[in-house]
Structure 1
Amino acid sequence: MQIRVLGSGAGGGFPQWNCSCPNCKAVRAGTIKASTRNQSSIAVSSDGEHWALFNASPDVRAQLENFPEIHPKNKVRGTGIEAIVIFDSQIDHATGLLILREGDPLTIYCTDMVKQDLTAGFPIFNILEHFCGVEDHPIPLNGDAFTIPNIDDLEFTALPLKSKAPPYSPHRNDPHEGDNIGMIIHQISTGKTTFYAPGLGVIEPHVEQAMTEADCVLVDGTFWTDDELASVGRPLLARKIGHLPQFGEGGMIEFLDTLDKPRKILIHINNTNPILDEESEERDILTQHGIEVSYDNMNIEL
């Protein structure tokens, strides 16, 4: 199984265009050891030629341009992307679909709830019908695995996660199963599995089981503390907006410490998170706990 981290940042990327927090200011000035980051997305393959794109961020054009394995081969137009799997209908995971409008109909896998949002509150699917069109496929939420044509040797199992739909969703204040999902990626020939969840606010029993059994977990690393956004004048708590912070009682570090089997990697890092500074005390704490921080263009192979 091959995994390419196309983008490792949270919404807005790093540095965020309108932010002058200590991290953004320092990375622009070159005064900290840190890498810039596009908004989160990964690509998955079993053979290095045929890929499933997980989420389509607003940075998708630059991400794909930096990924030669997905470029057209032996014809004027083409792509190594066989399908796009959309985990939620948030702007930073779906807007990139508009950037991919120049070719054949987009093959998209998503839950029924995400499809509703992308045809109503944020009607990207409707817009794409005037350009390339969409061939959408429902993602089952009953524990059944599904496969994607030409992505040989991999099967995918979605796990519903507790979450709120985006502000523009018709059911923003009425959560439904399928508003947000995590994904078990299983390679049939080797038995290896990866669990991917860039937005994870609660470790429910079925999520704990999936992470315990995985060979690699690539999960939500958005915030270091629950009240981190207060540093930029936003009185929002990480848990309230669907992200489990790393540090503190009941945080991601505490949970990951209970796992012996998987390789542990954080993704979807917010621009305010001190772990972006590779020489910070917070990054050192992660290292001591055996937790990695993903970066753009990172390759993971199982």
Structure 2
Amino acid sequence: MKIRVLGSGAGGGFPQWNCNCNNCRRIRRKEMNGRARTQSSIAVSTDQANWLLINASPDIRAQLEAFPAIQPKQGVRDTGIRAILLIDSQIDHTTGLLMLREGRPLEIYCTEMVRQDLTTGFPVFNMLAHYCTVNHHPVPTDGGSFTIPGIHDLRFYTQALKSKAPPYSPHRHDPHEGDNIGLIIEQISTGKKLFYSPGLGEIEPHVLEAMLQADCVMVDGTFWTDEEMCTQQISHKKAREIGHLPQSGEGGMIEVLNSVAKARKLLIHINNTNPILDDDSAERKQLDACGIEVAYDGLEIDL
């Protein structure tokens, strides 16, 4: 299984266009040992010709241009994208669908709750009906498995996560199973597994079990502390309030990942305020000591 990190940043990317936080200011001035990042998305394949796109960020065009394996190879119009899987209906995971409107119908796999959001509060599917059209394929939320035509030798499992729907969702204040899912990808021929969850606010028992069984874990790396946005005077909301488990502190992501012994462990969906974006920071050295990697745009993983 080949995993390509198309984008590794949180919403807004890094640097964020209107942000003058310590990280964004220093990366622009080239005063920081770090990398710019687009908004989070990955692609997976076993033959490196047919790819599943997981989430479609607003930066999708630049991400595809930086990835030759997925670019056109046959005919006047072509793509290596055979299907798209959405883990939620957030703007930073779905807006890129509009950039894919010029081609053939989009084969999109998502939960019923995500489909509802994308036909009501943020009606992207309705807009695309006037262009390429969308073929929606429902996915389970109970841990059941499914396969995707054209995506060879891979089996998928999805798990409902405790989460809020986006602010524009008609059921924003009435959470439903399927608003956000964790994804397990298994290569059928080898049994190798990836657990992917860029938005993870709580480690429920079924989530921990999936992480323990995975060969590679790629999970929420948005914030270092729960108060990060507050202390930097960017927002009054804490990390856990908006559905992201911080890395540090009791019960944080570092503590969780330290219990996952056998897997390769990576953080993705890194917010522009997070000190781990600085490769020379004390926080980054703490991750290094724990064997936890920080995903970056263009990273490729072979399982």
The CA deviation at 1:141 is 1.4
Unaligned residue ranges in structure 2 (runs of 5+): none
Alignment match, 1:280:
281
Q: Tell me, in whole angstroms, the C-alpha distance in 2 between the residues paired with 1:94 and 1:67.
A: 19
Letter in 2 for 1:257: N
Q: Tell me, in whole angstroms, the C-alpha distance in 1 between the residues paired with 2:233 and 2:153.
A: 45
Alignment match, 1:213:
213
Unaligned residue ranges in structure 1 (runs of 5+): none
Aligned pairs for 1:169-208 within 5 A: 169-208=169-208
Note if 1:112 corresponds to 2:124: no
What's the CA shift string for 1:10-51, capped at 9, x where partnerless?
000000000000000000000010100000000000111100
Identity of aligned residues (%): 66
In the alignment, is the contact (CA less than 8 A) between 1:21 and 1:232 conserved in 2? Answer: no
Aligned pairs, number: 302
Alignment match, 1:236:
237
The CA deviation at 1:143 is 1.8
Alignment match, 1:140:
140
Q: Tell me, in whole angstroms, the C-alpha distance in 2 between the residues paired with 1:100 and 1:32.
A: 34
Query: TM (normalized to structure 1)?
Result: 0.99
Aligned pairs for 1:1-302 within 5 A: 1-230=1-230, 231-302=232-303
Letter in 1 for 2:240: R
In the alignment, is the contact (CA less than 8 A) between 1:86 and 1:109 conserved in 2? Answer: yes
What's the CA shift string for 1:211-269, capped at 9, x where partnerless?
00000000000000000001033111100100000000110001111111110000000
**What is the SS of the residue equivalent to 2:254?**
helix
Q: Tell me, in whole angstroms, the C-alpha distance in 1 between the residues paired with 2:51 and 2:8.
A: 18
Instruction: Give 4+ residue runs of structure 1 displaced > 4 Å after superposition.
Output: none
In the alignment, is the contact (CA less than 8 A) between 2:218 and 2:266 conserved in 1? Answer: yes
In the alignment, is the contact (CA less than 8 A) between 2:142 and 2:160 conserved in 1? Answer: no
Q: Pairwise CA RMSD of aligned residues?
A: 0.5
Q: Tell me, in whole angstroms, the C-alpha distance in 2 between the residues paired with 1:241 and 1:144.
A: 27
Letter in 2 for 1:60: I
